[in-house]
Amino acid sequence: MVHADASNFAHGVTKDDAYEQVLMQAEGLFIDQRNWLCVDVQISDLGSNLANAASLLWHAYRSLPSPSKEVNWAGFYVLDPSSTKPQLILGPFQGKVACQTIEFGRGVCGAAAATQKTQLVADVDKFPGHIACDGDSKSEIVVPILASAGGSGVKKVVAIIDVDCTIENGFDDLDRKYLEDLADLLGRSCDW
């Protein structure tokens, strides 16, 4: 059963512990729930795996010491089904309002989508084409989510995880490892 307590992270936990809890809670929440977003208001228990994942991440970062607790945006962009060119559209997130569409290849999110590779950016001002949705963001990590959409068997980028931090060097290889694990889980756990 979905419960707000899933977002409670003990203060003083390590980054490993916090991410392990994110993954464990996410796995539990995704059981019997393959929708990445509520698409049918008639079915009240259709939740949103991405919305719950954004909440888990947000509260996990809040429980950690700096730099993690300086995270100011955590969420998702998904493949824009209404666009003829490869483009992302804003998905569920926690933080301030953000730009709504990002073409593949543009900014950090677009680079992750185009290359299918995680982008760990220590200083966004040094990243060519960085899209400054919020001038407070100084570092960023973006992880692509791959899945075989429509049962084709061929994996492609269906969404990206984007996390921003208000200080430089906000993320390291531990963030990369666990966010890639979360991307893998989401790729497998949702019908894209």
Residue 157 engages ligand SME in binding (rule: CB under 6 A): no
Residue 53 engages ligand SME in binding (rule: CB under 6 A): no
CA distance 53 to 36: 10
Count of CB atoms within 10 A of residue 101's CB?
13
DSSP 8-state assignment for residue 128 = T
The binder of ligand SME chosen from 130, 138, 158, 161 (CB under 6 A): 130
Report the relative pairing of strands 71-79 and 101-103 from DSSP bridges: unpaired
Site for ligand SME in 169-188 (CB under 6 A): none
Residue 141 engages ligand SME in binding (rule: CB under 6 A): no
How many residues line the site for ligand SME (CB under 6 A)?
Answer: 14
Q: What would the x/- binding string for ligand SME be over residues 92 to 121, using CB under 6 A?
A: ------xx--x----xxx------------
Residue 164 engages ligand SME in binding (rule: CB under 6 A): yes
Residue 58 engages ligand SME in binding (rule: CB under 6 A): no
CA distance 192 to 190: 6
Site for ligand SME in 60-79 (CB under 6 A): 73
Give whichever of 59 and 130 is closer to ligand SME, judged by the CB atom.
130
Per the CB < 8 A criterion, the answer to whether 113 and 120 are in contact is: no
Query: Which two structure tokens, joined as six digits, stand for 159?
Result: 């969404």
- Collapse the DSSP code of 138 into the 3-class scheme (helix H, G, I; strand E, B; otherwise coil) and give the result: coil
CA distance 122 to 141: 8
Give whichever of 52 and 166 is closer to ligand SME, judged by the CB atom.
166
* Sole residue written with tokens 């301030």: 96
CA distance 60 to 46: 24
Residue 143 engages ligand SME in binding (rule: CB under 6 A): no
Question: CB of residue 124 vs ligand SME: minimum separation in angstroms?
Answer: 7
Please give the residue ranges that form the binding site for ligand SME (CB under 6 A).
73, 98-99, 102, 107-109, 130-131, 133, 137, 140, 162, 164
